[in-house]
Each structure stands twice: as C-alpha cells, then as structure tokens.
Amino acid sequence: MRTGADYRESLRDGRNVWLTGEGPMEDVATHLAASAMVDEHVECYDRHFDPEWRDVPLTWPDASGQRHPLALTPPKTSEDLRSLGKAISTVNFITGENITHISSYGALITLGRLNALMV
C-alpha cells in the first residue's frame, strides 16, 4: 500500500491535464483547481497506516502478513459483504461522499450484483 506522499508524487509523471478555460495544469498536485481533491486522496492513503483505521478498509493480514483493500477483494462470505459495506460507509462518511468514483466504486457495483443474486 502506498503512502499519501507516494500518491502525490505519482501525479508528477508528466501527465497532460487541461482545465477548461485555463489551459494545462503544470502540477495537478498543487494547482488550485485540483489540490484540495489531491489532499483528500493523500489523507485517505495515509489513513491505511493508522492502527485505528486500517481494520476498516483492509482485510486481516494473510499468511504472509499482507493486508489488501476490501474494495478490491471479492467477498466470499456474508461477513465479507458486511465488512465491505462498513468500509464503504465509513469512507463515504469521512469524505462527505465528495470524492467521485472512490476506490470502492467498483465494490458498490459488485455489492449490488451480489445482492441481486442472493435475493
């Protein structure tokens, strides 16, 4: 899992981002129109290293001690689904659901599919 600093630095990869009416952004991570959203994502990445937070969005450690994002781990049990739902709800509460297509966006679609299949 990368840190917030890793994420911020990854945005400085030469990408070509344009803002309508203004032109190209030299640095997405510091541009006034994008920096607040970048800061939100940085905080989200860094939360994964907080002992009180990491049990919400991450799986329990596997045999090798690695944790994985619940949003990217296919649920196999009803408990997995409950954990995923709790993770999505918690992230949405913290961000005020202001981040579009959060990392769990695909998981929301999967939850809907699984719900339809289980009913």
Q: Within 10 Å of residue 69's Cβ, how many Cβ atoms?
A: 16
Q: Which of 64-68, 83-87, 110-114 has the lowest mean pLDDT?
A: 110-114
Among the ranges 5-9, 14-18, 35-39, 114-118, which has the highest mean pLDDT value?
A: 5-9
User: pTM value?
Assistant: 0.66
Q: Which of 14-18, 50-54, 64-68, 89-93 has the lowest mean pLDDT?
A: 89-93
Q: Which of 4-8, 22-26, 71-75, 96-100 has the lowest mean pLDDT?
A: 96-100
Above pLDDT 90, what percent of the chain?
28
pLDDT of residue 10: 95
pLDDT of residue 103: 57
